[in-house]
Amino acid sequence: MTHHAAPPYSPDWTSAPPDWDWAAQDADGRWFWYRTEPAPGIGGGVWRANSRNQQYAGPGAPNPDWLDSLQQRPAGADKA
């Protein structure tokens, strides 16, 4: 059985822009909000979406498990 621990930092969904329902962490630790579901970048280490659909969310520690960081806004989370 594989156990994935929750990321040490998870963005505060009350800070997410309205209707931006995705968050993910790049390998360097930075978190971003996404209006549309992002995809892993071809070169690795980053999540990608159209630049108008990506916004910096906060800092974090470098994360070798960045591919496991994609989160969808939890049901019932405040949409500011």
Q: What is the pLDDT of residue 18?
A: 93
Residue 53, pLDDT > 80, answer: yes
For residue 49, what is the enclosing H or E element? none
Mean pLDDT calculated for residue range 8-27: 90
Q: How far apart are CA 48 and CA 8, in angstroms?
A: 22
Q: What is the pLDDT of residue 4?
A: 47
Mean pLDDT calculated for residue range 34-60: 94
Q: Which pTM value belongs to this model?
A: 0.82
Mean pLDDT calculated for residue range 22-34: 97
Q: What is the pLDDT of residue 10?
A: 76
Tokens of 41: 């970048």
